[in-house]
Amino acid sequence: MKKRVIFKIIVWIAVGVVISDLAYRYGFELLEIPTSSMEKSIYAGEYVLVNKLIPGPRFFSNNPEKYRRWRVNREPRYNEVVVFNFPEADTVLANRPGESYYLLKRQHPNYRDSLKKEFWGETIPLKVNRRPRMLKRLKGLPGDTILIAQGKLFINSRPAVEAGTSVSSWQWRGSHDEFNWFVEQNNIAQTPITRNNRYFLKLSLNEMEEMAAPAELLTRDVMRRGIPDPHVFPFKRNLGWNSDNMGPVYLPRAGETIEINPGNIHFYRRMIEVFENTPIEVKGNYLFSNNIPISRYTFKMNYYWVHGDNRPHSFDSRYWGAVPENHLVGVVMRR
């Protein structure tokens, strides 16, 4: 009798472990937020519940040919907070695993010098499901055209709906005395940034709506158009893009065929070569794949565009491009 009871207990424990594992892998997960990129919506150290049923459990995420989703629910929607594997983490450095290998390469073009090799460490490849996870707000869906002008986001030529928690840097254009009055009236606790005798504050759209200040005295602080930032996607100085002025960028849909050429390959090369495992070679004015000339490419996956709410301190699609569908983990339920 005792043996039978013990056996039943073991069976129930085993069943519970299996159910818990399946729920974790394909259903829901509690995730701790590691960075401040989503402040003032979600703060570093907070926990959020991730619903993996949106867009659905993924299978064969490491193989773009076999990748599939079990569509038990719906697709992610605009402005939902999504969790995904970091697309630039297909390669990491042994001595700096928490940093973007490709960003470090862009910042230090000669990082492979023999004198630095010991400092950087060896490169380590990571499969999709092993790459670090990030959390951002979904701004662009497959088939959308992204444009950022003077710090404002446009989707398909229309102003995007921004979350009230979206933070920007704002410049005070009034006098010193007026600024002190403004800070006191609005109970602003943050220490302003001072640059060229000007005050700058990081405020959300919700905070801006509540502020008692003439609109002409507080304006969005943006980088001028045409000043290139070499760390902004697609990392081409001749485009003159920066985080406040970039685009248009088109997000491919699965099964969509797009014309590609040496003039636009920099938008799609990483998608095709790394995420979809199809080699591309540029020879003069021609493109080749497996030594075959090509002028069109049919994408295997959907691609998405994401931003952090804390825009001045967010490492997001502006700096590394689109998120492939097989990198999506789920949607945050609490926001």
Of residues 313, 63, 289, the one with CA closest to residue 168: 313
Helix (H) or strand (E) holding 257: strand 257-259
Q: Is 183 exposed, middle or buried (0-12, 13-18, 19+ CB in 10 A)?
A: middle
- Pick the catalytic residue: 37, 100, 204, 314? 37
- Pick the catalytic residue: 40, 136, 202, 300? 136
Of residues 299, 235, 228, the one with CA closest to residue 267: 235
Residue with structure tokens 């689109």?
322
Residue 37 annotated as catalytic: yes
**Torsion angle, alpha carbons of 163, 169, 173, 178, to 10:** 80
* Distance spanning both ends of the chain, measured CA to CA: 51
And the tokens for 84? 């995904």
Contacts by 59-68 with C-beta closer than 8 Å and gap 24+?
61/127, 61/128, 61/129, 61/326, 61/327, 62/127, 62/128, 62/129, 64/275, 64/276, 64/277, 64/300, 64/301, 64/326, 65/277, 65/300, 67/300, 67/301, 67/325, 67/326
Q: How many CB atoms lie within 10 A of CB 153?
A: 21
Note if the bond before 132 is cis, omega within 30 degrees: no
DSSP conformation letters of 134-202: EEEEEEE-TT-EEEEETTEEEETTEEPPPPTT-EEEEEE-S-HHHHHHHHHHTT--SPPEEETTEEEEE
Query: What are the catalytic residues?
Result: 37, 136
